[in-house]
């Protein structure tokens, strides 16, 4: 008798947040499949044959699910596979695992990483009913560890430092490298430039959502988010210059939390100086990139901006990025290092007129300037933690 696979038609598009209720299981033996089928009966259940590797592959193109149950038996290094899974799994999806390991330390490690539950094989219907079902389908969201998406704030120490260019291209390269879902949030509601640079028109609703959290439900994202490509979504606005905006801290928190449920990374183009209402964005950021050019103005402001970020979010969040480093007429490196009190954490050289051409063409510079990808790569590595210790990466991905 083979595993009874439900027939699944992949959705055309990622469906609305409110309709995501699929429970997807990838298991390799028929006993587990039967136990899950009976124990999770009544839910929108899909059982497929496979392991965690198949689950990761599916999530690269299909994230229309609320729960994932998958098998890690026989996998040599389950933590590496989990890391891959975490890279593409929306943060609000509850993940349960089934495997052969019965050691309590293994169980604890998985729980620490944000896995909802782990059951050693063989599993039974009653194990699923008693131990999995309440955690996966019951209302246990409050007890979950914080698995919100990773927020990266980009702020320019001086006008024209390249904040918007870096935010856009970083968002694209993060998605390309990790295959994760990335939101690009432009908090310059008046004359924001992300949409212009991408040749797109902002969707409606961001201003209202930021002003009044009661007005932003999960459908807000469907309206306000404009797809840049299948992984990257732009959330921006184009309010009149004379509009009286009344952005509230509660609105900012709410929008950020909606985005963090849905996206693995949220790259924010942050206005400077920060209005107090957007402090939650800085506070929630894992990385705040302070951009400057090799100019006196940039140096002076970078120092003040770093201090402001440190006061709001803590010292370990701030990274100084020197942009257009070798630009003709700029201050010499030694002067910059002296004024900053340290080497900049990240450096991007002047990449020539192609960068400005890309702006005028309304296309991402990544597609137009060949060197940009190489210079963004170390920044992407710093943010994703690829190459760093396994556990810390999971901690960073799944909880702040």
Ligand X SMILES: Nc1ncnc2c1ncn2[C@@H]1O[C@H](COP(=O)(O)OP(=O)(O)OP(=O)(O)O)[C@@H](O)[C@H]1O
- Assess 23 for contact with ligand X (CB under 6 A): no
Residue 350 lies near ligand X (rule: CB under 6 A)? yes
CA distance 195 to 186: 9
Exactly one of 67, 348, 383, 397 binds ligand X (CB under 6 A); that residue is 348
Between CA 83 and CA 184 the distance in angstroms is: 23
**Residues 356 to 385 in contact with ligand X, rule: CB under 6 A:** 356, 359
Pair type for strands 318-323 and 285-292: parallel
Residue 332 contact partner, candidates ligand X, Mg ion, none, CB within 5 to 8 A by sort of partner? none
Residue 279 CB partners (closer than 8 Å, separation 6+): 249, 312
11, 159, 199, 332: which one contacts ligand X (CB under 6 A)?
159
The distance of Cα 50 from the centroid of its chain, to the nearest Å, equals: 27
Q: Quick check: 151 binds ligand X (CB under 6 A)?
A: no
**Strand pairing category for 225-227 and 232-235:** antiparallel
> Considering the rule CB under 6 A, would residue 161 count as an interface residue with ligand X?
yes
Cβ 258 to Mg ion, closest distance in Å?
24
Site stretch for ligand X (CB under 6 A), options 11-19, 98-106, 111-119, 344-352? 344-352
- Answer yes or no: are the C-beta atoms of 347 and 330 closer than 8 Å: no
305 forms part of the interface with ligand X (CB under 6 A): no
- Out of Mg ion, ligand X, none, what residue 159 binds, judged by CB under 5 to 8 A for its kind, is ligand X
Binding mask 186-215 for ligand X (x = CB under 6 A): -------x----------------------
Residue 252 three-state SS: helix
DSSP annotation string for 258-302? HHHHH-SEEEEE--SSPPGGGHHHHHHEEEEEEEE-SSHHHHHHH
Judged by beta carbon, residue 64 or residue 269, the one nearer Mg ion is: 269
Per CB under 6 A, which region of 6-14, 37-45, 347-355, 381-389 contacts ligand X? 347-355
> DSSP secondary structure string, 224-237?
HEEESSSSEEEE--
Q: Does 55 bind ligand X (CB under 6 A)?
A: no
**Using CB under 6 A, which of 51, 56, 165, 236 touches ligand X?**
165
Nearer to ligand X, 327 or 395 (CB): 327
Concatenated DSSP letters for 53-97? Answer: HHHHHHHHH----SEEEEE-TT-S-HHHHHHHHHHHS-TTSEEEE
Apex 280 CA angle, 276 and 284, nearest 5: 145
What are residue 377's phi and psi, to 5 degrees?
-55, -45
Both tokens of 84, joined, read 């891959």
Contacts of 63 (CB under 8 A, 6+ apart): 14, 88, 89, 90, 93, 181
Which lies closer to ligand X via its Cβ, residue 82 or residue 365? 365
Report the residue number, 56 or 158, with the smaller CB distance to Mg ion: 158
Binding site partner of 306, from Mg ion, ligand X, none, Cβ cut-off 5-8 A by kind: none
Site residues, Mg ion (CB under 5 A): 163-164, 193
- Residue 160 engages ligand X in binding (rule: CB under 6 A): yes
Q: Which is nearer to Mg ion, 112 or 193 (CB)?
A: 193
Minimum separation from the CB atom of position 161 to ligand X (A): 4
Contact residues: ligand X, CB under 6 A: 156, 159-165, 193, 323-324, 348, 350-352, 355-356, 359
């Amino acid at each position: 008798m083979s595993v009874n696979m439900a027939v699944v038609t992949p959705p055309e598009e990622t469906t609305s947040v409110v309709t995501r209720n699929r429970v997807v299981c990838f298991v390799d033996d028929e006993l587990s499949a039967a136990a899950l089928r009976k124990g999770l009966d009544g839910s929108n259940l899909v059982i497929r044959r496979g392991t965690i590797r198949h689950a990761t592959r599916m999530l690269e193109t299909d994230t229309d699910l609320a729960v994932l149950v998958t098998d890690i038996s026989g996998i040599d290094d389950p933590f590496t596979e989990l890391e891959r899974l975490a890279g593409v799994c929306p943060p609000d999806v509850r993940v349960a695992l089934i495997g052969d390991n019965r050691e309590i330390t293994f169980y604890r490690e998985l729980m620490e990483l944000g896995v909802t539950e782990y059951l050693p094989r063989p599993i039974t219907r009653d194990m699923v009913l008693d131990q999995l079902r309440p955690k996966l389908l019951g209302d246990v969201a409050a007890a979950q560890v914080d698995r919100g998406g990773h927020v990266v704030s980009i702020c320019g120490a001086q006008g024209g430092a390249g904040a918007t260019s870096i935010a856009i291209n970083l968002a694209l390269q993060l998605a390309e490298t990790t295959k994760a879902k990335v939101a690009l949030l432009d908090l310059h509601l008046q004359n924001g430039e992300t949409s212009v640079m991408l040749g797109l028109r902002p969707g409606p609703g961001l201003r209202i959502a930021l002003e009044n959290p009661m007005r932003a439900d999960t459908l807000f994202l469907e309206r306000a988010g404009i797809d840049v490509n299948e992984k990257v979504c732009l959330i921006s606005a184009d309010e009149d210059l004379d509009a009286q905006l009344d952005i509230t801290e509660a609105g900012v928190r709410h929008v950020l939390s909606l985005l963090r449920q849905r996206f693995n990374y949220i790259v924010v183009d942050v206005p400077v100086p920060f209005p107090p209402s957007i402090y939650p964005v800085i506070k929630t950021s894992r990385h705040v990139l302070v951009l400057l050019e090799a100019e006196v103005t940039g140096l002076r402001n970078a120092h003040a901006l770093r201090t402001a970020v440190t006061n709001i979010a803590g010292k370990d969040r701030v990274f100084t990025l020197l942009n257009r480093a070798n630009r003709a007429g700029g201050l010499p490196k030694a002067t910059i290092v002296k004024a900053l009190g340290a080497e900049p954490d990240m450096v991007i050289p002047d990449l020539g007129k192609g960068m400005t051409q890309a702006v005028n063409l309304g296309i991402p510079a990544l597609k137009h300037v060949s060197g940009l990808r190489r210079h963004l790569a170390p920044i992407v590595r710093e943010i994703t933690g690829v190459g760093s210790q396994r556990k810390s990466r999971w901690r960073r991905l799944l909880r702040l």
